[in-house]
Amino acid sequence: MEWDGVARPTARLGPVTRSRVRTVSGSAVRDRRDDLATEEPLEIRLLAGGESRTVAITMRTPGADFELAAGFLHGEGIAGPGDIAAIGYCTDEDLDPEARYNTVTVRLAAPRLPDLATARNFLTSSACGVCGTASLDALRDRCAVPAVRPPVAVPATTLYGLPDRLREAQGVFGRTGGLHGAGLFTPDGAPLAVREDVGRHNAVDKLVGWALLGGRTPLDRHVLLVSGRVGYEIMQKAASAGIQIVCAVSAPSSLAVDLAREFGITLVGFLREERFNIYACPERIDVEQAAGTP
């Protein structure tokens, strides 16, 4: 797979943007410099058979853009393992120079573009994922539940340590306090990859893209942890990637719970300070040691 990510003279924004801020504390007022999480649009284009088409525009934090594009396409059932021939930043002459690092072209191995006539409008924000979520019927068509899943057992005491490990790996959050994090862990709690973004769904796409481009899918032997709440969009991406255990520091939505139960995914919420709730498929979490059972 070829990678077109060589730096060019065009200005390229990083994950952190410097700004001025006035802080007020009691009667004290001072002006200082502050670090903000960068938020910029990313256009994702498909290329096949000489034809190009924009399939998504999402607000994201620059960084791991190729992984984000691959993970997004995988989660939407547009491109799976082996379907991507190359990914690169767009160099079209009709693009303004400052936009070139905000446009990613994904060249497919297929001789023509997939039929996107029934695709939803993939204009997204950093806050809500893809607006107008696809129906559960569409997800069922793409993600048939396997008859037998490989057994995965995770001790409750292992889950207790995951939020701290995720937080330790969130370097940009440490500077800005303004990013979501998503991490992939082994069943024994070892971190494999952590990604950050202003959108929690983008952070998950970056992780799935990292796995897809590295030939690591399906992720049925991994634990996904997200730093905030978990909704339908994140569960959709987890189901598409074959993830069996999804954990969140905050709450799940009702649709996330419904999807977890239907697709046999263990869903853990409010994972913090050595406590959590299990909303679906509790059999994968070993609570004996946590409960002091001999």
Give the active site residues: 128
> Which residues are CB-contacts of 48 (< 8 A; sequence separation ≥ 6)?
107, 108, 110, 111, 112, 113, 114
Distance of CA 244 to the CA centre of its chain: 16
- Provide the annotated binding site: 270-275
Residue 200 has φ and ψ, to the nearest 5°, of -65, -35
Contact 68, 206 (CB under 8 A): yes
Residue 63 Ramachandran class (φ > 0 left, ψ -120 to 50 alpha, else beta): left
H or E stretch at 154: strand 154-155
Strands 223-226 and 245-248: parallel
* Number of CB atoms found within 10 A of residue 3's CB: 11
Assigned token pair, 75? 């989660």
Tell me how many degrees the CA angle 288-292-293 measures, rounded to the nearest 5.
55
The residue type at 126 = S
Q: Cα–Cα distance between 244 and 42 in angstroms, integer?
A: 29
Tell me how many degrees the CA angle 63-69-71 measures, rounded to the nearest 5.
105
Q: What is the CA radius of gyration of the chain?
A: 20
